[in-house]
Chain A
Amino acid sequence: EAGVAQSPRYKIIEKRQSVAFWCNPISGHATLYWYQQILGQGPKLLIQFQNNGVVDDSQLPKDRFSAERLKGVDSTLKIQPAKLEDSAVYLCASSLAEGPNTGELFFGEGSRLTVL
């Protein structure tokens, strides 16, 4: 079974530029999450989708971050304009809404962003 796919793996940009990250969840997983992991810290939830609807975006800095999951499958996370403090690994995860493995999130390898 293919895992969660993310791209690009690495991105270096200058502050005030924009960047976009893409995620393709495990086939059949209705729920998709974006996390931000700053060096030395645990991942922090940015946004949760259920199919193509937003369930929780309470921790998303909406003045510069946006995310969409238009067809309920893959998702894009955008940052515009980027700040130095946005340097982090952006992790995408997916899960089944229900079933025997309810509870477990499956993570991609992440997209590492460096803002100069």
Chain B
Amino acid sequence: AQSVTQLDSQVPVFEEAPVELRCNYSSSVSVYLFWYVQYPNQGLQLLLKYLSGSTLVKGINGFEAEFNKSQTSFHLRKPSVHISDTAEYFCAVRKRGGGADGLTFGKGTHLIIQP
């Protein structure tokens, strides 16, 4: 089984400041890693994913994340946030290899951008 911990339920940041949203995971098997964003009253949109290869992955809207296997972390970063980045962000893992492989999500981090 897998589990995901998002350490911060809310992160307030001033506009144009950098931000880091933290994610740690636990799994007994190899996993894929994802960050999804959810705007109010909308579905989940993929920001970025780590499948294999380079541990630094870049996504949409200027976000990036780094996979750290030894620390079992996949923190999300953006060097300069915009008011439109206000949303709920979910870290998720998915077991590799097929079978019962639905995403396991963290509880989410609400990113609040202050003008």
Name A's B-contacting residues (CB within 8 A).
4, 33, 35, 40-45, 48, 55-56, 58, 91, 93, 97-98, 102-110
Contact = CB atoms under 8 A, between A and B. Distances in A.
Interface of B: 4, 32, 34, 36, 42-46, 49, 51, 90, 92, 94, 96, 98-108
A54 B42 CA distance: 27
A45 B104 contact: yes
B107 A33 contact: no
Given A42-B106, A42-B107, A110-B43, A103 B100 contact: no
B99 A42 contact: no
A104 B101 CA distance: 11
Given A35-B103, A40-B108, A42-B90, 8 more contacts: A40-B107, A42-B92, A43-B90, A43-B103, A98-B98, A102-B51, A103-B32, A104-B46
